[in-house]
Amino acid sequence: MTRSLLTPADLGRKGFLEMLDRAAALKEAKRTGTERPALTGRNIALVFQKDSTRTRCAFEVAAHDQGAHVTYLGPSGSHLGREESVADTARVLGSMFDGIEFRGFGQETVEELARHAGVPVWNGLTDEWHPTQMLADVLTMREHHSGEIGSISFCFTGDGRSNIARSLLITGAMLGVDVRIAAPAELSPPEPLVQEAQCLAAATGARVRITDDPATALDGAAFVYTDVWVSMGEPDAEWDRRVPLLTPYRVTAETMAATGRPDTRFLHCLPAVHDTTTELGRRIHRRYGLAGAEVADEVFTSAASVVFQQAENRLHTIKAVLVAALGE
């Protein structure tokens, strides 16, 4: 099993499922007060070009629970990419730390860190991929699914080019599940990525469906997943283009009912624009007349929503990644 984690496919199907088993065991150990530190004396650098709530907290608490120390380098906290090259930063950090987490923009940055650091590097999010989120997502699905992993069906509805949609497509195909992506044609996953997913599916038995028809994608889905319509770092003007495109893919009570299943669960990686209690939510309401954006509050706060369990699972899955890389 690779010690770095840069894309969802890095673990492979077997390694991914083993990581979920490890995470579930660590979650139970924390719940029962029987957790045993495996990272005592380890030092971990957290390098963030993009701000975060869940990713930072999950890495910090996971490390502390396991006895490790962390150093947080925020968007203005290092010379990375400005006064110092990625390769030089990697060599410096690799000489002082046992592992490095990176959350930022380009995938090429985290890959260059991994090439030069000499220690494990973990992708906490880039514009292309979000592998640690995938572990939390599938753990959450598994906790609400009684059958084999291959019998899971999920539908992502929204921007099919986003790092979440891309990651779900590849993860689902790798694991052999029923993957549906509902997105407008101009926001559909890039064709090379779809071909990669289809190649994986041919080996694992996954069912992959990309469509601009939400009703087709939703039918029979056990999980409905969406994400913000405009990501961090994208211009605010993108809202003007994406709101008309993506409103038909918004998750509402009608969307959930369209699965035809009373047990369908709702997933979101957070943060979510689901009401008008935030500055962004109020701005969207003023400009477009929407109370919330990608998901209606009636779904986000419903019994079908497992988003906060999903957020907590970031902790347990990231802890599993750290222990697998540094604790053995």
Selected catalytic residue, list 54, 133, 142, 155: 133
274 is catalytic: no
Annotated active-site residue in 13, 56, 274, 314 = 314
**Sole residue written with tokens 């971990």:** 44
How far apart (Å, rounded) are the C-alpha atoms in residues 99 and 245? 41
Tokens for 125, please give them. Answer: 């999010």
| 130 a catalytic residue | yes
Question: Pairing state of beta strands 153-157 and 99-103?
Answer: unpaired
Quote the DSSP letter at residue 81.
T
Q: Which of 13, 54, 56, 103 is catalytic?
A: 103
Residue 178 contacts residue 204 (beta carbons within 8 Å)? no
271 upstream amide cis, omega within 30 of 0: yes
Q: Report d(CA 200, CA 7) in Å as an integer.
A: 14
Catalytic residue among 22, 42, 98, 269: 269
Could you confirm whether 227 is annotated as catalytic?
yes
Count of residues in the chain: 328
Which member of 130, 145, 268, 274 is catalytic?
130
Find all residues with CB under 8 Å of 286, minimum gap 6, and list them: none
Residues 207 and 216: their CA atoms lie apart, in Å, by: 14
Residues 6+ apart with CB under 8 A from 126: 102, 103, 104, 105, 106, 107, 109, 110, 163
Paired tokens of 318? 């990231």
Annotated catalytic residue 269: yes
CB of 277 within 8 A of CB of 271?
no
> Which of 144, 151, 168 lies closest to 265 in space, CA to CA?
144
Q: What is the dihedral of CA 91, 134, 136, 326, to 10 degrees?
A: -30
Catalytic residue (choose from 227, 265, 268, 310): 227
- Which residues are known to be catalytic? 103, 130, 133, 227, 269, 314
